[in-house]
Amino acid sequence: SISAEKEFNLIGETFNYMADVIERATYEKRIAQESKQRLMMDLSHDLKTPITSIHGYAQALVEGRVEDKQRQKKYLFYIYNKSTQMTRLIQNMLELFKVDTPNFRPNVERKEIGEFLRERIADVYDDVERNALLLNFSVPDHEVYAQYDPELLGRVIQNLIANALLYNPAGTHLRVELVEDDQEVRIEIADTGIGIPKELWTTIFDPFVRGDQARTHTGGTGLGLAIALKNTEKMGGTLTLRSGDEESSIFTIHLKK
Ligand code: ADP
């Protein structure tokens, strides 16, 4: 049996622990709320910009202020482009939120991953060729098992490769490699393109954070890496970024065995 003093201490410690947990919970909640608010502000801004131009071009057409057929066509083209951009943004946003809804259950199972990766690479092979990236793809010649959800992982790989295609000049290298060690299974997606400045490494996975050079590429939503990170974490994995000697961006998806 424990003495009254010990019991008292135990209660005290438990109380401290509880206080700590509660404080942490409210702190995390506050952070979560703040970032949700910022997210909504960013999203509203990114939706407002295209809708303002759509409205302007449509108004000019509706009011019959554009008589020249060529110019009418040009305005319609702008409207089409801007609305495509908005659709992409909304789809990405829904994708980012979907995995956090209470009903969402990731379908994570331990299964063979080499063949799955081969298929994903086959899916993007034409795009890689079109962009004249030199692909270096390797998987071990034995079966590799990892814990993953094919749909979530498929999107992670797709987003990382889409970025490599978008941000890297023709003739640069793209390496996709499946590696297994005692601890984990890794998919490395590395390129020798423009790289990501070190000061952006911690924030680049946040929604709407884009590099300066990326701003000239219209069509991006700034959500690709945020989705990739969230999907990876939903599978119990992690997603990291580093630079190598010869390679400028190395994204690594770490999965449990
Ligand atoms: P988006 O590509 O739509 O801008 P992402 O979240 O996918 O959004 O990427 C965020 C930013 O990270 C990009 O704007 C770009 O600056 C940078 N980036 C991502 N992948 C690469 C890459 N492979 N090489 C260079 N820069 C990259």
Q: What is the pLDDT of residues 111-137, one digit of tens each?
A: 999 999 999 999 999 999 999 999 999
Nearest-CA residue for ligand 1 atom 21 is 163
The pLDDT, as a whole number, for residue 209 is 87
The pLDDT, as a whole number, for residue 148 is 98
Interval 83-95: pLDDT, tens: 999 999 999 999 9
The pLDDT, as a whole number, for residue 33 is 74
Mean pLDDT of 211-220: 68
Which of 2-6, 49-53, 208-212 is predicted most confidently?
A: 49-53
**Three-state secondary structure along the chain?**
CCCHHHHHHHHHHHHHHHHHHHHHHHHHHHHHHHHHHHHHHHHHHHHHHHHHHHHHHHHHHHCCCCCCHHHHHHHHHHHHHHHHHHHHHHHHHHHHHHCCCCCCCCCCEEEECHHHHHHHHHHHHHHHHHCCCEEEEECCCCCCEEEECHHHHHHHHHHHHHHHHHHCCCCCEEEEEEEECCCEEEEEEEECCCCCCHHHCCCCCCCCCCCCHHHHCCCCCCCHHHHHHHHHHHCCCEEEEECCCCCCEEEEEEEEC
Q: How far is the CA of 13 from the centre of ligand 1 (A)?
A: 47
Nearest-CA residue for ligand 1 atom 10 is 210
Q: How far is the CA of 210 from the centre of ligand 1 (A)?
A: 6
Ligand 1 test: best mutation among 167, 230, 240, 241, most atoms within 8 Å of CB?
Answer: 167
Q: How far is the CA of 111 from the centre of ligand 1 (A)?
A: 30
Residue 2: pLDDT over 60 = no
Percent of the chain's residues with pLDDT above 90: 65
The pLDDT, as a whole number, for residue 98 is 87
Mean pLDDT of 151-160: 97
The pLDDT, as a whole number, for residue 213 is 67
Residue 72: pLDDT over 90 = yes
> What residues line ligand 1, using a CB cutoff of 6 Å?
159, 163-164, 167, 191, 193-196, 204, 210-211, 214, 220-226, 249
Band of residue 103 on the pLDDT scale cut at 50, 70, 90: confident
Q: Which residue has the higher pLDDT, 207 or 216?
A: 207
Q: How far is the CA of 205 from the centre of ligand 1 (A)?
A: 9
Nearest-CA residue for ligand 1 atom 20 is 163
Residue 222: pLDDT over 80 = yes
Index of the ligand 1 atom closest to the CA of residue 220:
3
The pLDDT, as a whole number, for residue 218 is 62
Nearest-CA residue for ligand 1 atom 15 is 211
Query: How many residues comprise the chain?
Result: 257
Ligand 1 test: best mutation among 43, 210, 242, most atoms within 8 Å of CB?
Answer: 210
The pLDDT, as a whole number, for residue 215 is 62
